[in-house]
Amino acid sequence: MKIYQKCSQQSHFCVQLKQQLLRWHMQKYWFICSVLLLVLALGCKNPPTRAQDWMQENGKVKVLCTTAMVADIVQGVGGEQIDCLTLIQGENDPHSYQLVKGDDEKFSRADLIFCSGLGLEHGPSLRAALEHNPKVFSLGDYLHRTYPSSIVFIDKTVDPHVWMDVGLWQKTIEMVSRILSEKMPDQKALLEQNARSTASRLSQLDAEIAAKLQTVPLDQRYLVTTHDAFNYFTRAYLAPKEELSSSLWRLRCQAPEGLAPDSQLSTADIQQLTDHLIRFNISTIFAESNVSQDSLKKIVDVMHKKGRTVHIAKRPLYADACGTNSYQDMMQYDAEIIARGLLNGS
């Protein structure tokens, strides 16, 4: 009986011990699995985006720019002293851009905000975020105030595409340099040095584009694009000096869709444009990267019915959006495509 009781007690003890060991193993197993899953999750986590990175404190002045063209000037002047983020990226249209999730936080985080202005950023939510905001400085509005005669008006509406004239856009350096120097007075000398380097780079770009377009005979320098983004470009690089004192230079730049690429083409618009193509013997017209080619295709069809051959240049121009290019690359590319298209129709 004693032996039986002992065996029974031992057996009970053994079962309890086994159960305890099993529980311990299971806990260990789950603990190891949890650690592995955590390590895996951390390892697979996406690296922070540029915007997330920009939101973090790093001791630099946080600057938000609405477009890549604005950022080119601001980053050039600010250099290493600022942390600069572009709000409207890639092919997004600055005319119609509306704030998306996370943009409000960028506006709150920014110490300074630079926009293109002159009505470019007219998407309601973006416009509301910019208007009456004491942190916002407009490069275009600065040009309008300081160099009023340099601003182009189309039917009494200001043309916001000022960056398409590099020499004019370059003049905003003085304003950006002043604003940044006021924010970082101890960095003034360095910022002024950056401003001089940026001005030199853009002067060189301006001269390079002018020289490129000079290779096109004057009677072939007529540009037709999807929307009215190339008036400043035309005045700076396609028109001869003698046309600048009158409105004659404006004949060298036409677009079916007006200042913002969202208008519908009327029969009268098509008639006016086809008359223009015939009058100036224009055979190549230019699409834009972020704008539908529908209006240009209609023009080509109408011209075809009139027995005239007009074609759309193989490669689109960039105007409102740089895509993945820098501002400098975009302007060099446009100059090349326009010169090539006007010279030999490719």
Give the pair of three-digit tokens for residue 296.
Answer: 């240009």
Those residues with Cβ within 8 angstroms of residue 327's Cβ, 6 or more apart along the chain or in another chain: 68, 69, 71, 72, 163
CB of 93 to Zn ion, least distance (A): 8
Give the pair of three-digit tokens for residue 125.
Answer: 């939510």
End-to-end CA gap in the chain = 108
Residue with smaller CB distance to Zn ion, 82 or 287: 287
CB of 345 to Zn ion, least distance (A): 25
Those residues with Cβ within 8 angstroms of residue 248's Cβ, 6 or more apart along the chain or in another chain: 239
Do 37 and 43 form a contact (C-beta atoms < 8 A)? Answer: no
Residue with smaller CB distance to Zn ion, 168 or 229: 229
Strand pairing report for 311-312 and 284-285: parallel
Is 56 strand, coil or helix? coil
CB of 56 to Zn ion, least distance (A): 33
Give 273-286 as a DSSP string. HHHHHHHTT--EEB
CB of 321 to Zn ion, least distance (A): 9
CA distance 313 to 286: 5
CB of 161 to Zn ion, least distance (A): 6
Those residues with Cβ within 8 angstroms of residue 177's Cβ, 6 or more apart along the chain or in another chain: 77, 191, 192, 194, 195
Q: Which residues bind Zn ion (CB under 5 A)?
A: 229, 320
Residue with smaller CB distance to Zn ion, 229 or 310: 229
CB of 294 to Zn ion, least distance (A): 16
CB of 183 to Zn ion, least distance (A): 30
Give 65-120 as a DSSP string. ESSHHHHHHHHHHHGGGEEEEESS-BT--TTT----TTHHHHHHH-SEEEE--TT-
CA distance 83 to 220: 44
Give the pair of three-digit tokens for residue 17.
Answer: 């011990």
CB of 319 to Zn ion, least distance (A): 6
Tell me the residue nearest to Zn ion as measured from the CB: 320
Do 66 and 87 form a contact (C-beta atoms < 8 A)? Answer: yes
Residue with smaller CB distance to Zn ion, 320 or 334: 320
Those residues with Cβ within 8 angstroms of residue 51's Cβ, 6 or more apart along the chain or in another chain: 85, 102, 106
The gap from C-alpha 87 to its chain's centroid, in whole angstroms, comes to: 8
CB of 148 to Zn ion, least distance (A): 21
